Structure 1
Amino acid sequence: MTTTPRDTPASRRARANGDGTVYQRKDSRWEAAGYVLAPGNTRKRIRVYGTTRKEALAKLTEKIAASNRGLPAPSAQGSLATYLTYWLENVAVHHLRENTHTRYTACVNRYLIPGLGKKKLSKLTAKDVRTWLNQLRTTCQCCTRRLDADRDQPRCCATGACCSKRLSPLTLAYLHSVLKSALEHAVREEEIPRNVARNVRTGTPRPRRFAPLTADEARQFLSATYDHRLHALFELALHTGLRKGELLGLRWEDLNLDTGTAAIRRTLQRTSTGGLITLPTKTRASERRIALPTRCVQSLKLRHEQQKREREAAGTAWQHSGHVFTTVQGGSIDPTNLTRAFTTLSARPASAASAFMTSGTRRPRCSWNRASNSS
């Protein structure tokens, strides 16, 4: 009797050369195996598993497709440093915002690879992670990273007077979270059976303390900035608690001054490659509609008239962006410049409120999203 392809069991159907094999195991799971590109321009056989034939085949097809694009599959027998580099360049870069990816890269290169990079991915243990975190917690970073070498006048380890510059609990928790994210992807790709970093407890760090403006201080600040061209922005920040990026990303189309509402849909950020760009809010929860106090509505109407005058004065040099708060020529305002302006104004008496936007990197005296509301 001749057997047709339709009569052949699903686990034994022939697949095209190079597509690998798919079969059902004795434990009822489905296993798919095939060859993919490995580090060093070699090839290795990998195995993936699924509860159905379709799931196992989809996993294998994804890995083979990545291999055909020239992306080497990470090896659990390779070092953690090799895997972290692969994860940053081929996985995280597609799922993180540019600024977040930059921070992750700094964490990996500055702390993770020097501390754990030589460990094999498959042999990394919770004890290794805990020991690494404890060393970071107790070691002076000036000594470890040799910061004195970049100073004109050494003042720490090079002079025998350690400054005990240690990482904060918040930084340690962030480093731990970056490692957990990387290892979680290794688990999903079935490179390792479990995420050992999840078995290490770092505790919940206390948030940084800050001194928000009191109601009286907020009133004094608004009085001092009444003649400032960004007075409407400061008033909106103090009454609604919007973040800097949300304020600077606000467009006139987001406002309905007749009903007194604003739709928060985007944020303005500076990135290393794109410069000042407008992005959607980080999460769906951050996308919201807020009610505007009457004072803010009046300030925004005045701001609209002010912007018309600035556009007429700029003439052909005007940069139309649609933003509510711009430079005098219509360009986007750098968040760092806004921070500098706020810091400068908050330190001046009311009689010296007139100021202009300049560059700088100083931090504001109070958190933008936690500023006290003035009545």
Structure 2
Amino acid sequence: MTTPRDTPASRRVRANGDGTVYQRKDSRWEAAGYVLAPGNTHKRVRVYGTTRKEALAKLTEKIANSNRGVPIPSAQGSVAAYLTYWLDAVAVHQLRENTHTRYTTVARLYLIPGLGRKKLAKLTAKDVRTWLNQLRTTCQCCARGLDSARDRPLCCAAEKCCSKRLSPLTLAYVHSVLKSALEHAVREEEIPRNVARNVRTGTPRPRRFEPLTAEEAREFLAAARGHRLHSLFELALHTGLRKGELLGLRWEDLDLDAGTAAIRRTLQRTNAGGLTTLPTKTRASERRIALPTRCIQSLKLHHEREREVAGTTWQHDAHVFTTVQGRPIDPTNLTRTFTTLLRNTGLRRIRFHDLRHSTATLLLEQGVELVVIKELLGHAHIDVTATVYAHVRLRLQRDAIDSLGHALDHP
């Protein structure tokens, strides 16, 4: 008599509703089962894997989503339906909330109006290229009907098109969101290939920024010297920390005796949670950096002042930089404070993030190696550092060549 243990793995009986798993003649494993489909119907799906475990895992994931009431997308369905499924059931669990919000906005404003009615299975590279070309040349004020919300028409309704077109960076971002969605459709075996990858949009030029010169940086530090957040501005300019990383710093992250700071988290405002502490942007962003001597001194003074003000309520795990009431600082409020400081001291207006660019630029001009700057800034790859600051390296090359020419002309 054959017992369940003696039954081959490909022939074991699975529980009702769990589907079936068997090995094909081509040695691949196939798993099949019924899942929820659009229209509150059920559809039999098939998934494949090189091993029984892989095929079973794919089927189990689809059945789990079905049990949660999430219908499986159909390749016969529209691009809009798949985008909605991908954003609500997949991307929401893989992306940060702010990133997911941006993806949803891109889908609502550009992807669904432009490609939403097309069948997912019939979408071609030509469709994507045609849509991107149209998006590149279309006035967004006209396309989105922004005039309808105005008391007096200013654009197409007044027959004076403002030609408000998408920037190359925005266009590349929209394209990348579509590629991510279709890539998941390929992984779920809904479509055979990602047609958006066959369309080239060109490499957009990096966003231009105007970092502070060494003289302007000295003026800025002098102007911030009497400010309550002087140590924050000084730390930003000396270390290139991101705004969220500065605001997420806690006293337990600082070792002022050793002169180091551990960057473990970032503070951001999200739609759902308000001010929220999140992990760093990437794994490379979680790092330990050395603190300059002047920053150590200013942080010690800031520490003593904060302990005096807080009294018995002071906590070792509290945020380093807080409001007067001792609460975390909203990133928007920090930007407003920074802009006010620039205006009151007569310095030209820059973004807070340009302090980070200023740090990297000044370090490059002092001859610091690119790999050291990459580690300090917390970039995931050195290519990012090299690309962003290519203009600085070009200027340094020119200076070096001029120096060599001067040495050859005048021994």
* TM-score, normalization by structure 1: 0.91
| C-alpha RMSD over aligned residues | 2.1
Cα offset for 1:11?
3.1
Q: Deviations over 1:263-290 (max 9, x none)?
A: 1111110001111111110211001111
User: Structure 1 residues 226 and 6 mapped into 2: Cα distance closer, same or farther (>3 Å)?
Assistant: closer
Q: 2:374: which partner in 1?
A: none
Matched with 2:321 is 325
The answer to whether 1:369 aligns with 2:356 is yes
- The 1:344–1:112 alpha-carbon spacing in structure 2 relative to 1, beyond 3 Å, is same
State the match for 2:309 in structure 1.
Answer: 310
Match of 2:380 in 1: none
Q: Identity of aligned pairs, percent?
A: 79
Change in CA separation of 1:304 and 1:110 when aligned onto 2, cut-off 3 Å: same
Listed as ranges, the gaps of 5+ residues in structure 2 are 367-411
Q: For 2:302 and 2:322, how far apart are their aligned partners in 1? A: 10
TM-superposed CA distance for 1:156, in Å, is: 1.1
Partners of 2:36 and 2:69 within 8 A in 1: yes
Partner of residue 216, structure 1: 215
What's the CA shift string for 1:103-143, capped at 9, x where partnerless? Answer: 01101111110000001111111111111111110000000
CA distance in 2, matches of 1:152, 1:77: 43
Q: 1:104 — aligned with what? A: 103
**Residue 6 of structure 1: how far off its partner (Å):** 5.0
Q: Is the 8 A contact 1:237 1:371 kept in 2?
A: no
Give the superposition deviation at 1:65. Answer: 2.0
2:91 is the counterpart of 1:92: yes
Shift in Å, 1:226:
0.9
Aligned residue for 2:229? 230
Query: Which residue does 1:337 correspond to in 2?
Result: 333
Matched residue type, 1:371: S
Q: Could you tell me how far 1:348 is from its partner in structure 2?
A: 2.2
Higher relative contact order (CA 8 A, sep 6+): 1
Aligned to 1:346: 342
- Relative to the length of structure 2, the TM-score reads 0.83
Work out the CA distance in 2 between the residues paired with 1:130 and 1:271: 34
Q: How does 1:1-375 map to 2 (within 5 A)?
A: 4-5=3-4, 8-312=7-311, 322-349=318-345, 364=351, 367-372=354-359, 373=362
CA shift for structure 1 position 365: 6.5
Q: Which residue of 1 aligns with 2:405?
A: none
Secondary structure of the residue aligned to 2:284 is helix
Distance 2:302 2:290 in 1: 18
* Cα offset, 1:255, TM superposition: 0.6
**CA contact under 8 A between 1:321 and 1:330: conserved in structure 2?**
no
Question: Structure 2 CA distance, aligned partners of 1:5 and 1:223?
Answer: 80
AA of the residue aligned to 2:322: T
The structural deviation recorded for 1:12 is 3.3
For residues 73 and 129 of structure 2, the distance between their equivalents in structure 1, rounded to whole angstroms, comes to 24
**Equivalent-residue separation in structure 2 for 1:216 and 1:289 (angstroms):** 29
- Once residues 366 and 57 of structure 1 are traced to their aligned partners in structure 2, the CA distance between those partners, rounded to angstroms, is 47
The DSSP-based 3-state class of the residue aligned with 2:163 is coil
Name the structure where helix makes up a greater proportion of residues.
Answer: 2
**Cα distance in 2 between the residues matched to 1:6 and 1:261:** 59
Whether contact under 8 Å (2:242, 2:353) holds in the other structure is: no
Question: Does the aligned pair in 2 maintain the 1:249–1:323 contact within 8 Å?
Answer: yes
Q: Bigger CA drift: 60-69 or 85-94?
A: 60-69
Cα shift readout 1:179-226 (whole Å, capped 9, x = no counterpart)? 111111111111111111111111211111111111111111111111
For the residue of structure 1 that corresponds to 2:238, the secondary structure is: helix
The AA in structure 2 aligned to 1:343 is T
Paired AA for residue 330 in structure 1: G
SS at match of 2:201: coil
What's the CA shift for 1:308? 2.0
In the other structure, the counterpart of 1:356 is none
Aligned-partner residue type, residue 135 of structure 2: L
C-alpha displacement of 1:160: 0.8
Q: Which amino acid aligns with 2:121?
A: S
After superposition, give the CA deviation of every residue in 1:51-88 in whole Å (9 maximum; x if it has no partner): 11221122112211221222211111111111111111
Worse-matched range after superposition: 320-329 or 173-182: 320-329
Q: Which runs of 5+ in 1 are unaligned?
A: 353-361
Question: Contact conserved, 2:211 with 2:355, CA < 8 A, in 1?
Answer: no
Q: SS of the residue aligned with 1:348?
A: helix
CA-to-aligned-CA distance 1:316-363 (integer Å, 9 cap, x gap): 8x899711110011111111111111112112237x9xxxxxxxxx97
Distance verdict in 2 for CA 1:344–1:27, change over 3 Å: same
Residues in 1 aligned to 2:256 and 2:169: alpha-carbon distance in whole angstroms:
41
**CA apart distance, 1:366:** 5.6
> CA–CA distance in 1 between the matches of 2:138 and 2:12?
59
CA distance in 2, matches of 1:112, 1:100: 16
Amino acid at match of 2:241: L
Equivalent residue number for residue 357 of structure 1 = none
User: Residue 23 of structure 1 contacts residue 30 of structure 1 at CA under 8 Å; is this kept in 2?
Assistant: yes
